Amino acid sequence: MPSDNQSFNYFLRERGADWDVRSLLYHIARSVKYINFSIRAGNTGGAGTENASGESQIAMDILADKIISKELEKSQLAKVIASEEQDEPMTFKSHRGNYFVAYDPLDGSSLVDANLAIGTIFGIWESPEMVGNKAGDGMVAACYAVYGPRITLTIALKGKGCHEFELNDVGEFILTRADITIKDDTTYFAPGNLKVCRENPKYATVMQRWLTKQSKLRYSGGMVPDLHHILSKGHGIFTYPKDKSQPEGKLRLLFEGAPFAFLFNEANGVGKNQAGHDILDTIVTDYHQNTTVFIGSKNEVKAVTDLLA
Ligand code: AHG
Ligand code: MN
Ligand code: MN
């Protein structure tokens, strides 16, 4: 149950979030509600098409993408938007706002048929210039929705913390957890791309570390619920290392890595790449570039990236 009857708009205004960012988040929240309806009522089948990362799209990836782009267009605040499901970013020259919004419309598409929790991820930057900058330059907010037994929206604003809201039965997102905080140490691990153990013995050493520590495995195969588990429990580590076929990793910098690194930074956690550098310091060279991902409790992320160095 919500701890306090505060809508996210009221709460973020009290926290000093400016009108434009709250307005963008209002449109993002609307898109999340529509996507939630379409997940419950829609077509769970394949679309027969591929996205820019060469992955098969399902009908719901495409529908969620359309819902979000329409809402961001209505906001009049996003000058440029980039989606995991669109080859090129879209520019709205007439918009009064100057924001850049990157999004993964549906994270965990491969879990839809199995009826597991899935999500949507957004990053918001104050200027549309991205290529050549560090991913974290000008980043002002990030958020993600979890479509599970309950629908939640977790929002982080620059310097204003990370907070969870839950959709109630009259369609409002109400505060459920303010100032989510990640402890430095953990006993939870979510190990993506475990097949890497075979080609990189160092990843097998990391796995051995978790077994020796008697850590608890919490892994669904969806980055959103896996990272939401860590934020909910207040500790944990999620890893997605590179392999020979994916030398920069699988996950996308702008649609997945950077938004979650931003959310975790605001919650006292960290988001590093396999080299142990902040994901948010990665120079953007391409809207669809990939990154390795090591996110969660500070000490554990350091120990794991040190073992892989
Ligand atoms: P998406 O559905 O947006 O393509 O992302 C899926 C991602 C992420 O959610 C998850 O951590 C990872 O893919 C799992 O990939 P594999 O099962 O291929 O290892
Ligand atoms: Mn994804
Ligand atoms: Mn996706």
What structural domains does the chain harbor? 8-177 (3.30.540.10), 188-308 (3.40.190.80)
Lowest pLDDT segment from 43-47, 116-120, 230-234: 43-47
> What percent of the chain is predicted at pLDDT more than 70?
99
Give 117-135 as a DSSP string. Answer: -EEEEEEEESSS--TTSBT
Q: What is the mean pLDDT of residues 225-237?
A: 98
Is the C-beta atom of 222 inside 6 A of ligand 1?
A: yes
pLDDT tier, 3 (very low <50, low <70, confident <90, very high otherwise): very low
Contact partners, residue 116, CB within 8 Å, separation at least 6: 108, 220, 221, 222, 225
214: its two tokens: 């008697």
Any bridge partners for residue 223, and if so which? none
The 10 Å CB-count burial string (b at 16+, else e) for 67-87 is bbbebbeebbbbbbbbbbbbe
Is the C-beta atom of 221 inside 6 A of ligand 1?
A: yes
Is the C-beta atom of 107 inside 6 A of ligand 1?
A: yes
Of 159, 166, 142, nearest to 15 by C-alpha is: 159
Q: Residue 43's pLDDT is what? A: 81
Q: What are phi and psi of 110, to 5 degrees?
A: -70, -10
5: its two tokens: 């009857």
Higher pLDDT among residues 95 and 147, named by residue: 147
Q: What are phi and psi of 140, to 5 degrees?
A: -115, -20
**4 CA distance to ligand 2 middle (Å):** 31
Query: Is a pLDDT exceeding 80 seen at residue 1?
Result: no
Segment 40-66, tens digit of pLDDT? 887 888 889 999 999 999 999 999 999
For the whole model, what pTM was predicted?
A: 0.97
Q: What is the mean pLDDT of residues 266-295?
A: 98
